[in-house]
Amino acid sequence: MAGVPDFLVIGAARSGTTALTSFLGEHPDVFVATPKEPHFLAFPDGGPRFTGLGDDDLVNRTAVRDEQSWRALFRGRTERRLGEGSVTTLAYPDASVPAVERFCAPGCRLVVMLRDPVDRAFSSWLYLRSRGHDAGSFEECLAAEDERTEAGWSHMWQLTRLSRYAEQLAPFAARFPDRLLVVVQEEFTADPTGQLRRVLEFLDVDPDVEIDPSRRVNASGLPRSRAVTSALNTLRRSPALRRLVTAAVPQRQRERVRSANLDRATVDPATRARLAATLAGDVRDLEELLGRRLSLWPTAADGARP
């Protein structure tokens, strides 16, 4: 069906979806929409109005709010595969599963990337900090999650819930069992060429196109300089400046500048153990859903301990 998405990278947030869509967008037979995350399928009845810290910047401002505008993202494209990469599609399955059936091409293929759930949650917190949104330590944000969700804060602040993959993925696996590809982020990192080839074969496009999937994209870390963070956020929030910089500075160079302002950080071991115990049941459900062990995940190993 011309001009209609026939593949989606649906999530999970902070699991490598931005990198994957960037690599896919380099393929001559693949088109990925801009913005990468229009969010329409998660909110088909009208865009979100989240009220949390930074939510206007994170979601509200960039969400495509109607079907016509969403379809316009793909109008006139002639590539073999057309797609987008909204992580909200996975985060809100009750709305997005029927929306995929209603708005996407018949046979639309779905790619999901999953990462160790504790690492994903911590990366989400780091991402929020790197965007200048400081609502407390990782531990404080975990403790405040339910209260903030009740108050209307977006999914990006739902650090634990978004790491419960089984409950989000199960509706997609039930409705689209033959059209769903699960990619484990840690396996992609270990074998980027082989895993990218697997995705391209799933999308039925030439897997031998030369693409370098080993470079870092959208890395996590704590910001070194508030001034640099503020300048980068000013660019993001100004459509005119963003278009100017995008046209003048290659994406790889922009990513190097952003990454240079980040320091690596790790989860406190005691916090990791507590969160791993909280998520252990969902990890076991996910392994059953996928029919495989997730042996590269520390959280899976932690959950197996008596």
Q: To the nearest whole number, what is the mean pLDDT of the chain? A: 89
Residue range 259-288: mean pLDDT, rounded:
89
Taking CA atoms, 10 is separated from 4, 7, 36, 163, in Å, by 16, 9, 11, 14
The per-residue pLDDT for 160 is: 98
What residues does 111 pair with on adjacent strands? 9, 181
**Who has greater pLDDT, 46 or 138?**
138
Residue range 134-147: mean pLDDT, rounded:
97
For the chain, domain boundaries: 7-221+264-304
The per-residue pLDDT for 248 is: 61
Superfamily holding 7-221+264-304: P-loop containing nucleotide triphosphate hydrolases (3.40.50.300)
The per-residue pLDDT for 300 is: 86
64 by Cβ neighbours in 10 Å (0-12 / 13-18 / 19+) ranks as: buried
pTM equals 0.85
The amino acid sitting at 232 is L
The per-residue pLDDT for 47 is: 81
Does pLDDT of 274 surpass 70? Answer: yes
The per-residue pLDDT for 237 is: 61
The per-residue pLDDT for 264 is: 79
| Percent of the chain clearing pLDDT 70 (strictly above) | 82
Does pLDDT of 3 surpass 80? Answer: no
Residue range 17-37: mean pLDDT, rounded:
96
Does pLDDT of 226 surpass 80? Answer: no
What residues does 183 pair with on adjacent strands? 113
The per-residue pLDDT for 304 is: 47
Per residue in 93-105, pLDDT tens?
999 999 999 999 9
The per-residue pLDDT for 123 is: 96
- Using alpha carbons only, give the angle 147, 98, 18 rounded to the nearest 5 degrees: 65
